[in-house]
Amino acid sequence: MEYTYYPGCSLEASAKSYDESVRFVFKALGQELVELEDWNCCGATYYMSTKETISLVISARNLALAEKYGRDIIAPCSACYTTLYKTNHILKNNPIMKAKVNQSLKKDNLEYNLSLNVRHPLEVLVNDIGTDTIASQAHISLDGLKIAQYYGCQIVRPDRGLDDKENPQMMDSLFEALGAVNIYFPVKVRCCGGMLMTTYSDVALELNKEILECAHENGSDLLVTTCPLCQINLEAYQGKINKKFKTDFHIPILFFTQVLGLALGGTPEDLGLKRNLIPFQLKEKSQESIR
């Protein structure tokens, strides 16, 4: 199947490995991603919470550009996904806002007619392709790999009816099918603080410490996430957290597509593993082929 791909700003810089691994995984599974031509920043929650109409217009420009192709649009970054999804939802339910947005878009001869579905790659992989199909195409077993499945906030909330919002299962079932062990991880949807790491770092460091602590105490080999902001908070600030709380965490933080890509036979280069600050590699025993 073909999908319109919306990488978002983070995936071109700090989360480059997410972009690389998403592209690899979809290609390996025979799906085509077509990058949206001349996409712009979604505006994230920062725009949404400051200027309502403008934020919706900015986000809707992408939807209008994508609509021509009639394919579902997929956005890997949790913030992009939430913002585009929310814009679509608001415009579908609020005719006045839709009129305002389209009147603005007209200045660029664009119009959005509400026909798109905004989707996240995790959900596309699980629902369109299916965990059984993915598992049957995996070359490498993740046998015994202990994973902390961290979903963060914005992929399951606010409620979109795709997965349980308190105890989501999509990543759990995907990695279980690949042989991994999902550790007990009750903080799987707890907030990492997002941009509070910049504005109120004391609060954010505390939140991240709790997530790392839970992963550590339950014996995880690594933590996987779906969000660029969670990834950078948990990985790049781990040293600072160790210093502040006198802890000794050394937990690799990977995008779920990086680990999935390994199972599908990707090399560290394919999946941007060298961009991680805390190195991760599969142990010898789990590198044996399943078939």
Partner 1 sequence: MTEGEQKLKIPGILGKKEKELRESFLQQVVNIPGGESIKKCIQCGACTGSCPVSYTMDVTPREVIALFRAREIESILSSRTIWICASCYACTIRCPQGVQVTDILYALKRLAIEQEIFPKRFPVHALSKSFIGFINRYGRSYEPGLILSYFLKTNPFKLLGMIPLFLRLFPKGRIGFLPKKIKGKKNFSRILKEAEILEMVVPVQEL
Is 46 a binder of partner 1 (CB under 8 A)?
yes
The size of the chain, in residues, is 291
Q: Which of 30, 200, 283, 285 binds partner 1 (CB under 8 A)?
A: 200
- Tell me which residue of 109, 64, 255 sits closest to 73, measured CA to CA: 64
Is 186 a binder of partner 1 (CB under 8 A)?
no
Choose the binding region for partner 1 from 106-114, 129-137, 219-227, 256-264 (rule: CB under 8 A). 106-114
Least distance CB 174 / partner 1 (angstroms):
23
Least distance CB 54 / partner 1 (angstroms):
4
Between CA 92 and CA 118 the distance in angstroms is: 12
Is 291 a binder of partner 1 (CB under 8 A)?
no
Choose the binding region for partner 1 from 41-49, 117-125, 143-151, 282-290 (rule: CB under 8 A). 41-49
User: Which residue's structure tokens are 């036979």?
Assistant: 265
Rounded to 10 deg, the angle between the 95-105 and 52-67 helix axes is 70
**Site size with partner 1, rule: CB under 8 A:** 66
Contacts of 5 (CB under 8 A, 6+ apart): 22, 23, 33, 34, 35, 36, 73, 74
Least distance CB 62 / partner 1 (angstroms):
10
> Please, what is the end-to-end C-alpha distance for the chain in angstroms?
26
Q: How far is CA 237 from the centre of its chain?
A: 19
Helix (H), strand (E) at residue 32: strand 32-35
Helix (H), strand (E) at residue 48: helix 44-48
Q: Which of 207, 215, 227, 264 binds partner 1 (CB under 8 A)?
A: 207
Q: Which of 45, 131, 247, 287 binds partner 1 (CB under 8 A)?
A: 45
Q: Where are the alpha helices (DSSP H) in 138-281?
A: 170-177, 196-199, 201-217, 228-236, 238-245, 256-263
Choose the binding region for partner 1 from 22-30, 117-125, 133-141, 192-200 (rule: CB under 8 A). 192-200
For partner 1, the closer of residues 133 and 198 by Cβ is 198
Q: Which of 32, 51, 133, 243 binds partner 1 (CB under 8 A)?
A: 51
For partner 1, the closer of residues 278 and 290 by Cβ is 278
Q: Which of 9, 124, 129, 135 binds partner 1 (CB under 8 A)?
A: 9
Enter the DSSP assignment of 72.
P
Do 231 and 253 contact (CB within 8 A), yes or no?
yes
Site for partner 1 in 242-281 (CB under 8 A): 274-277
Contacts of 93 (CB under 8 A, 6+ apart): none
Q: Which of 66, 97, 223, 224 binds partner 1 (CB under 8 A)?
A: 97
- Enumerate binding residues for partner 1 (CB under 8 A): 9-10, 12-16, 38-41, 43-54, 57-58, 61, 89-90, 93-94, 96-97, 100-101, 103-110, 153-154, 157-159, 165-166, 189-191, 193-196, 198-200, 203, 207, 236, 274-277
